[in-house]
Amino acid sequence: MLLLAGCLQSKKADLLDKAEGIQTKAALRDRLGQPDDVAKLGPIETWTYKASDGTVSFLIAGDTVTMSTTGETAPAR
């Protein structure tokens, strides 16, 4: 069952396409769902979503989505 779930994950490009034009945290959550990881430092948050080919992170200041970045998935040890 875990293999099936992994196959259904979006690719980084798909997540970025879905998030195109989104400006608020609520809109991002509505479009992509809950993030896989949230890091907070004061009013700054980084929401990270796992994709089949890496990760996509969104930098959020207050309620405003300001930037998105992609990363690679760390190899399993």
Residue 4 clears pLDDT 80, i.e. is over it: no
Cβ neighbours of 58 (radius 10 Å): 22
- Please state the pTM of the whole predicted model: 0.83
pLDDT in tens, 25-76: 999 999 999 999 999 999 999 999 999 999 999 999 999 999 999 998 766 6
Q: Which pLDDT score is estimated for 72?
A: 87
pLDDT in tens, 17-34: 999 999 999 999 999 999
Q: Which pLDDT score is estimated for 73?
A: 72
Q: Which pLDDT score is estimated for 11?
A: 96
Sign of the CA dihedral running 1, 8, 75, 15: negative
Q: Which pLDDT score is estimated for 7?
A: 53
Domains parsed from the chain with CATH numbers: 2-71 (3.30.1450.10)
